[in-house]
């Protein structure tokens, strides 16, 4: 009862994320939770919470795709998936309505970097965040 996504590299993987590579848009009212995330040369995980309601959150996870099979697993029992575009990249958007608030998972690959955004925010804000990553 899960969706499994496997990334594999053709050729040499990037040595590190491009300089300044990050999510550059944060919705109003959200603040970064530095205790829940990390930044290093090949990946980052940024966690954000709504300043007024800590149950509203999202995560942005980007990493250089390594030459070994990189695997991510997502819920398939409560989530409906569709194919969309993030800029010019093909992406998969999952929508989950369990637990009383709609949540999303958005995954895509571009230029040797895997991108994942997971959160209980609006679809519009999720896509704005995705478009801001560079």
What's the CATH number where 85 sits?
3.40.1000
Q: 91 lies in which domain range? A: 2-132
Burial 17-37, CB ≥16 within 10 A → b, else e: beeebebeebbeebeeeeeee
Structure tokens at 52: 């007024």
Number of domains in the chain: 1
Which DSSP letter does residue 29 get?
A: T
Q: Which residue, among 58, 59, 54, 51, has the nearest Cα to 28 in the 3D structure? A: 51
Which DSSP letter does residue 63 get?
A: E
Model confidence over 124-133: pLDDT tens digits?
999 999 999 9
User: What does the pLDDT average to over 36-62?
Assistant: 95
Model confidence over 59-82: pLDDT tens digits?
999 999 876 656 666 666 778 889
- Given this model, what pLDDT does residue 100 score? 76
């Amino acid at each position: 009862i899960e969706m499994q996504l496997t990334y594999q590299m053709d050729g040499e993987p990037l040595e590190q994320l491009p300089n300044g590579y990050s999510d550059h848009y944060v919705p109003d009212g959200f603040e970064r939770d530095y205790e829940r995330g990390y930044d290093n040369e090949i990946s980052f995980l940024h966690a954000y919470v709504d300043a007024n309601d800590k149950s509203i959150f999202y995560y942005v996870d980007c990493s250089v795709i390594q030459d070994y099979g990189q695997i991510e697993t997502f819920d398939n029992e409560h989530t409906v998936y569709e194919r969309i575009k993030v800029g010019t990249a093909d992406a998969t958007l999952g929508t989950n309505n369990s637990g009383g608030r709609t949540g999303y998972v958005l995954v895509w690959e571009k230029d040797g970097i895997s991108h994942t955004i997971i959160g209980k925010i609006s679809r519009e804000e999720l896509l704005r965040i995705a478009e801001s990553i560079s």
